[in-house]
Amino acid sequence: MLKAGEAGAYGNPLDYFRQVKSLSTSDVDHEVIDLPHGPVSIFPGPCHLASLLIAVARDMSRRAVVSLPPPSGVDPVRWHTYLERLARRRPVLWRNHREAIESRYLDLGVSAAVGFPTGAGKSALAELKIATALLADRSVIFLAPTHALVDQTRNSLARAFPRANVRHEYLDDGSFAPDENAPPNVLIMTPEACLARMSFDASFFEDTGLLVFDECHLLHPSAPAADRRALDAMLCVLNFARLAREADFLLLSAMMKNTTEIAEWIEDLTARHCLVIVMEAHSATSRQRCVSRRRDIRS
């Protein structure tokens, strides 16, 4: 009987589970039962449990958030300290998260357009990208289309990054005066508020390392002749690219059907890589997978 913390006689838990599964099955004498597929005798409970534990033990280390290597330009010690805190809330990553990260999504200098459906993990990917910027000592601008989402995002990111100065700004509450004693690490606002601040405090954006635009389908006008919000959002993105030339972009939406075109536009705007990260359904099944692509930038 194994005690807690013991590796067991087979060296590691995976070998132990495999041995249990092997001991749970045995061949049946063909003279007693004559079946073409080779009859077996099985203890279903231990065999099924061992099979489940094998699947968990085989994939857990690869899926564990603490196993993520540090992105380029980020101190490994600070990165692993952050992952240890993150693992208390999110111990494992989904397959689409891992596939995006394997495409070097987290590296500094790489932007991304993420077209995941609702519930597919856009927030988790955004949080990891924000963590990369913060650990590289860069500030983050987060755009949300409504005041309600600004408040919600501020509360969520304040919990995710308790040691960072996470603030929000509104266009109509007079809160644009900069606080020189405690400049924000993460500033959440609407595109309209961001555009207004650019008009009188352009230097504020020069050291920003990441722009996150949630619900970025706002860029597409609902009525081209009269949609002022889409125009303000587009001007905000264009001006930000001019003011923060080294910043990465992360555009998120569950309703972005032209993700590839958006990524190509960001590449043209920044002259740096922009990944396309979407969920594509397999033709034979209803399962989905993450597809990431990167284009070569020609100078």
pLDDT digits 0-9 by tens, 121-135: 889 999 999 999 999
CA distances for 227 relative to 1, 222, 224, 266, angstroms: 69, 6, 6, 22
Q: Which residues are paired to 188 by β-bridges?
A: 142, 168
**How far, rounded to the nearest angstrom, does the alpha carbon of residue 291 sit from its chain's CA centroid?**
14
Residue type, 243: L
Res 243: pLDDT: 93
Res 291: pLDDT: 55
Among the ranges given (174-188, 189-203, 281-295), the one the predictor scored with the smallest mean pLDDT: 281-295
Q: What is the pLDDT of residues 183-203, one digit of tens each?
A: 789 999 999 999 999 988 888
Residue 283: pLDDT over 60: no
Q: What is the pLDDT of residues 32-42, one digit of tens each?
A: 445 555 555 77
What's the rounded mean pLDDT across residues 17-25? 81
Q: How many helices (H) and strands (E) does the chain have?
A: 9, 10
d(CA 276, CA 259): 6
Q: HSE of 12 in the Cβ direction (CA atoms, 13 Å)?
A: 5
Residues 6+ apart with CB under 8 A from 292: 99, 100, 102, 103, 105, 275, 276, 277
d(CA 263, CA 163): 32
Res 31: pLDDT: 52
What's the rounded mean pLDDT across residues 265-278? 93
Q: Which residues are paired to 277 by β-bridges?
A: 114, 292
Res 34: pLDDT: 53
pTM of full prediction above 0.85 = no
d(CA 168, CA 170): 7
Dihedral sign for Cα atoms in the order 26, 31, 33, 34? positive
Q: Which residues are paired to 250 by β-bridges?
A: 112, 212
Res 276: pLDDT: 93
Res 43: pLDDT: 76
d(CA 33, CA 197): 81
Angle at 121 between CA 115 and CA 124, to 5 degrees: 115
Residue 266: pLDDT over 60: yes
Residue 56: pLDDT over 80: no
Res 96: pLDDT: 86
Among the ranges given (24-28, 44-48, 194-198), the one the predictor scored with the smallest mean pLDDT: 24-28
Residue 299: pLDDT over 80: no
Res 297: pLDDT: 42
Q: HSE of 127 in the Cβ direction (CA atoms, 13 Å)?
A: 24
At residue 3 the predicted structure's pLDDT band, cuts being 50, 70 and 90, is very low
Dihedral sign for Cα atoms in the order 100, 101, 104, 108? positive
% the chain with pLDDT above 90: 41
Q: At what angle do helices 13-23 and 44-63 cross, to 10 degrees?
A: 160
At residue 284 the predicted structure's pLDDT band, cuts being 50, 70 and 90, is very low
Instruction: Tell me what the pLDDT averaged over the chain comes to.
Output: 81
